[in-house]
Each structure stands twice: as C-alpha cells, then as structure tokens.
C-alpha cells in the first residue's frame, strides 16, 4: 500500500514542475487559459500530497513497521492519537507535513481567488509550486518517509516516539507552528507576484490580509504552546530558554508583527512600500530558515534532528535561492517602489509605528546573532561557544520595554501630526496611571529591581491607554442615546475590528510581559528531605509523605507525595514524578505545579536517594500564570480581528485568501 504514497509524491513532483512552467508562461503571455491550467496543476499536486500524507497516517495507524519511519517513531504500546502525532515526530514526516500545509494554503488561495486577481495569480501559483517542488525533491530523493526496511527484515515492534513528545500539547504544537510558518508563503507569493507584474499598490497585501493575520496568529499560539509544554514537561521551572529552535520560530514572528504594523502606514499614508515588501520577504525567509535550523541540526538544540551534509546544503541553498529571487525582483522594480508620500512629523502615529519597526528589527538582530554566533564562532575560530539566556535577556529585555512603551503611545497620537493640545489630553490619564503604579511598586516590591518595576509600570500605562480608547469610543456612541454601553462595545468590535481587536492583542502582550517580569521575584530552593520532614519556601511548607513506585506499563520510576501548606493551612498533595521510559531508556522529571493567579509553586523530584530521602527542587514563580492568561487573550483578540468583516458585502474587491 505504502508504495502508492511514494509514487504519488513523484507524480506531484512532475506535475508541480509542469505547473511552474505553465504559471510562468501564463504570467508572461497574460493568457487566462494558461493561468487556469497552472491553477489546476496546483490543485492536483495538493491532492497527490494529501493522498501521500494520508498513506503515512494509515501506515502509522496500522503498525506498518516495514516502513523505516513507522518503525523509528511509533510502537505498539502507543495510543492511536500519539501514533498519528508521530508523523511529525521525525524529520521526513515533518517535511511531508510542511509540504502538506503548504499545499493546503496554496489550494485554498487558488480556490478563493478563482475569480479575482487574474493578473497576479500565475505568478502566485508559480512561486507556491516552486516552494512545493523543493520539499518534494527532499521527500523523493533525500529524506524519504516511505523508505522500507530491506526485504526479509521483519520488526515486531518499533522504537516508539520520544516520551517527552507524548503530551497533548505536543500533538498540536507542531501543527499550529507549521500553520504559522508555512502560512507566510501566501503573502510572500502575492508580494512576489506584485513585483513580477508591477502592480505595486495596496492590492497584494489587502488581498492577503487575512491569511497573513492567520499565519501570524498561529505562529504566536504555536510559540506559546511550546512554552507551556516546556513548563509542564521539561521540568526546569521555566517556559522559555532562548533555545535555538525557540528562537527560530520567534524571529519570523518578530518581523511579521513589525509588518502588520508598518503595512497600516502603507494603507493609510501610502508610505513604506519598499520596507513592507522587504519585511514580508524577510519574514518568509526566516520561516524557511527556522525550519532549516530545526531540521538541519547545525545549531545544537533540544529540538534539532541530526542531519546529513547533503540535506544541509540543499536546504540552505533553497532558502538563499528563494530570498535571492525575491530580492532580484525587488531590485528590478526599485524605480517604481519609491513612495510618493513623506513623513510629516516625528510626533505622529506613523513615526511611532516606524520606531516600533526599528525596535522589532533590533530585537531580531539580537536573537539572530545570539542564535548563530556559536555556529560562526566554531566555523571561524574552531572554538565551541555557548551563549546563555543572560545574553538574550540583557539585550532584548530593554528593547521589549521600549516596545511596551510604544504600544501605549502609538494609539494615543494622531496620524500625520499630533498637536500639543491633543497630546496633553490623550496622555494625562495613562501617564498618571503609569507613574502612580511605579510609585506604589517601588514601595511595595522594590526588591524586584529596576527592570521589573519599569515593566509593570509600563503595563499599567498601556492598559490605561487601552481602557481610555475604549471608554472614549463607547462614550461617543452612547451619547447619541441609541445604544447602551454593551451594545456600543459590540458595535465597536464588529465595525472596527482591526483597531479594537488589535488593542486586545496589545492587552495580551501586556499580560505576557507582566508574567515574564514576574521572574524577577522567582525563588528556588534545592533540599534533601527525609520522609515526614518539611521544607519551607516563602509562605509555603512542603511535607514529604512518601514515595511510591509508578505502576505504569511504558515507564517506571517513583512518584513522591508531598503535602503542601501555605501559612500552615493545608492546600493540596503534590505528586512530582521521576520517570524512566523503558523502551527509549530515557529518564524524565515530571513536575507538579500548584497554580494560582498570583504565583505557581513548582516542584521537581530530582532524585529519590538510596537512604529513602527525596531531593526536591522547589520554585516559587510569581505571576507566571499571566503568561497563559495572556495567551488566551491573544487568541481572543486575534479571533476578533480574523472574524469575517461585516462590511465585506459592500466592497467591490473583498479581502480574502
């Protein structure tokens, strides 16, 4: 059966190459019939790839251990859900998933644009298929998911999936992340098509507004899910370690967020045309580069798969070629990209957005160099080097604070040029809120230090500015007497969803940064306790009751039972585990967390010692829950922005794709 999967990938490859040819021909000849041919090619390629991935799912579901991939990444003991999730547990499967998601996006794009943008579509199809071809080549010739064991070899069971990946969050985290990374192919393709046709107006990004937002939303959620998984599974008390592959997904999110802001300036003021094209090109390049970092293993990381030099050179070549073609197209059009408008004043919303873009790029530079410096260092000097989280925190922290400040300022200043009078009227309340908060905080939690206090004060400033924006808009509507406050809020959110949904996204970032700043007050303690005795951290007492053997089938080890008290008042029994996965011979420490909106108490069982005592690592993580509250808020705000625009019906060309 699985031969069909491999075969359909080869069909898809041939057809995709043909589709690129027809797309280019249709683009040059401006022949609508050939555009249709190219579009249909793309749909059929997508169908073949869909069939192929279905084959691999089927092989995983039915224990087809003849396939090397199935044997390596699944085992009989795994439940069906995790067997299916094993598809993205290894290299070849992840590449197939990447390709499949790309095909899905491409197909949806072709379908929604079937009667629109006829001049752009041939180029869009050509570039999307060109990207597919690269992955098809990898899957057919370098990293084959349908590779079979030599004839005569029979395996009764497989290796199983890395136990750390057998977690509900890990089933969806890669999917969501890929939906984010791959999704930027659509705006990238339209930007490329705009360059090829010379239609450099606002159409290309208006058309792709929703897919860009959707990709950005998925990427953000994917990053947060990754943090959540690290916190719950990896057992080191944290959620973000500036690991190279975390950085790999964070970098495109930075440029994408910058793009979402700067594109508003182009929409309102017709400025920054070159910049926006550059940003979307850079974003997609970083998405590919991130995938490359994860899959090539050139940077040592917990995520990276070890890989062959062939794979590395092909992949790097593709990333560079893709970016190079885009840059050449930009250079060829440089005369037409000049923006007719100029900045009127540095005290204007567009100036604050521009500054925001600079800060995003600065953070990107920090993360980029921090991630890749070890690679360059080893290549040039031969010295291996490790760059710790301290580098990133010290460098990116102040920049993040600057962004927070701008998130409060931006909405308060007018487009074009803000008058002193309007500035005073807009800033007096939020500014006062920020200053009052910092005064209270210095007295109350001054020991948290300058950065944390500044961060929380800025959070208060931004929240106050958002509340003020909402209050003013609601008051303006209710004053007419036809709506009550709730109705007015609803109308606002529906009629100007980008703006008011955007504020909710800002609020989510405020929550997340507030939570991260809480780490300034983190406390930790390592203690060896005998059964019956107690360990104290801050207001908490943990009494070690007993340890029991874990009766599971796939792993063994010990679970400690710890009675948790706060100020001598019993709260709960905590059960951190020390596991050993038999099949994979891999140990794992599963933490136990007592979580409140104020702080988490997080316990890791480091070891059960030979004398029966337990060595415990205990963390008190203040405000950490706000990161996840921020995550939920992020989803709400983004969904609000992504909801179908109620005014769509009144427009001649609706945003879609």
Partner 1 sequence: MSKGTQLAGGATLIALLLGWYAMANLQDGSSFAYFQNLEDFQTQYQRDSSAMTGHLRVHGYVAMGSIDRDVPQMRVLFSVQNDPPHAGGEIGDLLPVVYGSLETPDLFKDGAEVVVEGRLAKPHAGAPMVFHADKVLAKCPSKFEAKTPQPTSL
As beta bridge partners, residue 615 has: 528, 607
Cβ–Cβ under 8 Å, residues 185 and 212 = no
Could you tell me whether strands 569-574 and 599-608 are parallel, antiparallel, or unpaired per DSSP bridges? unpaired
Nearer to partner 1, 344 or 476 (CB): 344
Q: State yes or no: residue 486 binds partner 1 (CB under 8 A).
A: no
- The 10 Å Cβ neighbour count of residue 582 is 15
Nearer to partner 1, 152 or 649 (CB): 152
Query: Shortest gap between Cβ of 540 and partner 1 (angstroms)?
Result: 19
- Letter string b/e over residues 310-330, b meaning 16 or more CB atoms within 10 A of that residue's CB: ebeebbeebbeebbeebeebb
**Sign for the pseudo-dihedral over CA of 248, 251, 256, 259:** negative
What H or E segment, with its residue span, contains residue 173?
helix 168-183
Could you tell me whether strands 555-566 and 599-608 are parallel, antiparallel, or unpaired per DSSP bridges? unpaired
Torsion of CA 534, 535, 540, 543, to 10 degrees: -30
Q: State yes or no: residue 290 binds partner 1 (CB under 8 A).
A: no
The token pair at 206 is: 């208006």
Query: Shortest gap between Cβ of 464 and partner 1 (angstroms)?
Result: 29
Q: State yes or no: residue 368 binds partner 1 (CB under 8 A).
A: no
Of 498-506, 580-588, 623-631, 646-654: span binding partner 1 (CB under 8 A) = 580-588
The token pair at 181 is: 């990374």
Tell which residue, 196, 330, 306, 301, has the closest CA to residue 243.
301
* Interacting residue with partner 1 among 160, 281, 430, 434 (CB under 8 A): 160
Tell which residue, 523, 517, 395, has the closest CA to residue 453.
517
Report 504-563 residues binding partner 1 (CB under 8 A).
526, 528
Q: State yes or no: residue 339 binds partner 1 (CB under 8 A).
A: no
Size of the site for partner 1 (CB under 8 A): 56
Nearer to partner 1, 95 or 366 (CB): 366
Query: Shortest gap between Cβ of 398 and partner 1 (angstroms)?
Result: 8
648 contacts: CB under 8 Å, gap ≥ 6: 654, 655
Provide the 3-class DSSP secondary structure of residue 146: coil
Nearer to partner 1, 149 or 423 (CB): 149
Nearer to partner 1, 347 or 473 (CB): 347
Q: State yes or no: residue 449 binds partner 1 (CB under 8 A).
A: no
Report 120-159 residues binding partner 1 (CB under 8 A).
149-150, 152-156, 158-159
Query: Shortest gap between Cβ of 427 and partner 1 (angstroms)?
Result: 26
* Interacting residue with partner 1 among 2, 22, 52, 72 (CB under 8 A): 72
Cβ–Cβ under 8 Å, residues 292 and 319 = yes
Of 138-146, 160-168, 455-463, 482-490: span binding partner 1 (CB under 8 A) = 160-168
Of 384-392, 422-430, 500-508, 595-603: span binding partner 1 (CB under 8 A) = 384-392
Of 43-51, 320-328, 534-542, 579-587: span binding partner 1 (CB under 8 A) = 579-587
How far apart are the C-alpha atoms of 101 and 86, rounded to whole Å? 16
The token pair at 656 is: 């879609």
Tell which residue, 188, 181, 233, 227, has the closest CA to residue 207.
188
Provide the 3-class DSSP secondary structure of residue 556: strand
Q: State yes or no: residue 173 binds partner 1 (CB under 8 A).
A: no
Query: Shortest gap between Cβ of 151 and partner 1 (angstroms)?
Result: 11
* Interacting residue with partner 1 among 238, 398, 531, 556 (CB under 8 A): 398
How far apart are the C-alpha atoms of 319 and 131, rounded to whole Å? 10
Report 295-324 residues binding partner 1 (CB under 8 A).
300, 302-306
Residues that bind partner 1 (CB under 8 A): 68, 71-73, 89-91, 149-150, 152-156, 158-160, 162, 165, 235, 300, 302-306, 358, 362, 365-366, 383-388, 390-391, 394-395, 398, 526, 528, 584, 586-589, 606-607, 609-611, 613, 615, 617
């Amino acid at each position: 059966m699985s031969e069909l999967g491999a075969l359909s990938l080869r069909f898809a490859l041939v057809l995709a190459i043909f589709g690129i040819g027809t797309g280019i021909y249709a683009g040059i000849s401006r022949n609508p019939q050939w555009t249709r041919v190219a579009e249909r090619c793309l749909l059929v390629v997508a169908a073949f790839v869909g069939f192929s991935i279905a084959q691999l799912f089927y092989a995983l579901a039915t224990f087809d251990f003849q396939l090397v991939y199935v044997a390596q990444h699944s085992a009989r003991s795994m439940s069906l859900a995790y067997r299916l999730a094993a598809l993205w547990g290894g290299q070849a499967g992840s590449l197939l998933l990447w390709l499949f998601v790309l095909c899905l996006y491409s197909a949806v794009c072709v379908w929604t644009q079937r009667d629109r943008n006829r001049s752009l579509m041939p180029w869009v199809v050509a570039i999307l298929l060109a990207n597919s071809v690269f992955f098809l080549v990898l899957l057919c010739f370098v990293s084959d998911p349908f590779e079979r064991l030599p004839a005569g070899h029979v395996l009764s069971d497989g290796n199983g999936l890395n136990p750390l990946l057998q977690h509900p969050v890990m089933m969806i985290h890669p999917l969501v992340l890929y939906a984010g990374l791959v999704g930027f192919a659509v705006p990238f393709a339209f930007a490329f098509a705009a360059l090829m046709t010379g239609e450099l107006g606002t159409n290309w990004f208006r058309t792709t507004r929703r897919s860009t937002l959707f990709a950005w939303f998925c990427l953000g959620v994917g990053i947060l899910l990754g943090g959540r998984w690290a916190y719950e599974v990896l057992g080191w008390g944290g959620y973000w370690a500036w690991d190279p592959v975390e950085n790999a997904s964070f970098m495109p999110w930075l440029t994408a967020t910058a793009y979402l802001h700067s594109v508003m300036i182009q929409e309102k003021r017709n400025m920054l045309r070159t910049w926006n094209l550059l940003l979307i090109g850079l974003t997609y390049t970083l998405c590919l580069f991130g995938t490359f970092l994860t899959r090539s293993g050139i940077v040592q990381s917990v995520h990276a798969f070890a890989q062959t030099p062939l794979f590395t050179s092909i992949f790097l070549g593709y990333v560079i070629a893709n970016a190079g073609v885009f840059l050449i197209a930009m250079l060829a059009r440089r005369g037409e990209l000049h923006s007719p408008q100029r900045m009127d004043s540095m005290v204007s919303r567009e100036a604050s957005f521009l500054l925001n873009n600079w800060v995003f790029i600065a953070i990107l530079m920090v993360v980029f160099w921090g991630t890749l410096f070890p690679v360059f260092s080893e290549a040039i000097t031969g010295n291996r080097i490790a760059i710790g989280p301290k580098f990133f925190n010290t460098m990116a922290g102040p920049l993040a604070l600057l962004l927070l400040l701008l998130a409060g300022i931006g909405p308060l200043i007018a487009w074009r040029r803000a008058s002193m009078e309007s500035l005073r009227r807009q800033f007096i309340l939020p500014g006062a809120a920020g200053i009052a908060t910092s005064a209270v905080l210095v007295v109350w939690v001054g020991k948290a230090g300058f950065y944390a206090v500044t961060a929380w004060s800025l959070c208060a400033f931004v929240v106050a500015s958002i509340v003020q924006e909402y209050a003013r808009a609601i008051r303006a509507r209710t004053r007419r007497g036809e709506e009550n406050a709730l109705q007015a809020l609803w109308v606002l959110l529906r009629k100007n969803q980008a703006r008011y949904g955007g504020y909710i996204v800002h609020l989510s970032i405020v929550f997340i940064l507030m939570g991260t700043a809480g780490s300034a007050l983190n406390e930790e303690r390592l203690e060896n306790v005998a059964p019956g005795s107690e360990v104290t951290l801050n207001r908490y007492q943990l009494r070690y009751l007993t340890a029991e053997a874990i009766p599971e089938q796939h792993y063994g080890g010990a679970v400690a039972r710890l009675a948790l008290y706060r100020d001598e008042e019993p709260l709960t029994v905590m059960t951190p585990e020390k596991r050993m996965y038999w099949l994979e011979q891999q140990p794992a420490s599963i933490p136990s967390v007592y979580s409140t909106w104020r702080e988490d108490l997080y316990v890791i069982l480091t070891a059960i010692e030979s004398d029966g005592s337990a060595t415990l690592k205990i963390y008190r993580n203040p405000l950490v829950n706000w990161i996840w509250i921020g995550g939920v808020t992020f989803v709400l705000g983004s969904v609000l922005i992504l909801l179908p625009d109620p005014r769509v019906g009144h427009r001649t060309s609706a945003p879609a794709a």
